[in-house]
Structure 1
Amino acid sequence: MTFVDDVLQGRAVIDDLEEYGEAWDSSVVKEYHDYLGLLWPEYAMWVEEGQVVLEYVIKARQERLDLRSYLARNKDESPTTRELWSLVERYAEEWREINS
């Protein structure tokens, strides 16, 4: 299970992220973004923008979408979704690699 899975199942909250980071064992799960349950561009966005990205990743996963797809559908919903969509656009190449 990943951090995102645990949040979705109610076993964790976003504020528990630091504890998950402390428990990460790179000999078991090499990539930190995989351990968290994030696609690489989602992870890059989280590093850049912080907790708000995780909140939107959780919303996206509740709808069985990746963050890019969720934001594409909801980009005009609020200033935050528009701002995050702009960030998605900056990571366009990474999203293309995932979808190919």
Structure 2
Amino acid sequence: MQFTVYSNNGNSRAYPYLLDVQSNIIGDLNSRMVIPLFPLTAFRGQPAQRLNPVITIEGERYVVMTHEMAGVRIGQLGGDVADVQGYRQQIKDAIDFLIDGI
């Protein structure tokens, strides 16, 4: 589901969570467009404010790694962890900034 955070069943331990940003209208595909989330405590320097918003999941802060957005197979998505609809506009703005620079 769009704007749902899932645990990452893939091999990358650096990204414990994947944020689904794909529209629910095209949910019949066997893949989803996701943005990996990186723990803020492990991030070097400061995240780019517009490109990499910081969100809170289960009391921990994560950097939305918009520039790492990718399509993954459904099987790479583990259990759902959080609904981040409250960050919807920040996430959409970050995607717009990545694509259009605005």
Larger-gyration structure (1/2): 1
Q: Calculate the TM-score normalised by the size of structure 1.
A: 0.30
Q: Calculate the TM-score normalised by the size of structure 2.
A: 0.30
* Structure in which a larger fraction of residues adopt helix: 1
